[in-house]
Amino acid sequence: MRRARRRVLREAGMSTSEYAVGIMAACTFALVLLGVVRSDAVRNALVGIVQNALGLAG
């Protein structure tokens, strides 16, 4: 019983560090995605899609 309790106490801080790494990965992915969406090629493609959708609806 003591051994199991020591193991739990020793691993108690792991979840905090895992959350920190996960948040950093999510922020990095968001920055990369933002850079891609702001590029001229993607922006022109999105504008074309919206214009086609509005043309079909109108």
Average pLDDT estimate for 4-28 = 78
Hunting for tokens 């999510």 — which residue is that? 26
pLDDT confidence tier of residue 27, bands split at 50, 70 and 90: very high
CA separation for the pair 11, 21 (Å, rounded): 16
pLDDT over 90 (residue 11): no
CA distance to 9, 14, 15, per residue, from 3 (Å): 10, 18, 20
| Cβ neighbours for 36, distance < 8 A, ≥ 6 positions apart | 42
- Residue 14 corresponds to which tokens in the numbers above? 């792991």
Q: How far is CA 32 from the centre of its chain?
A: 9
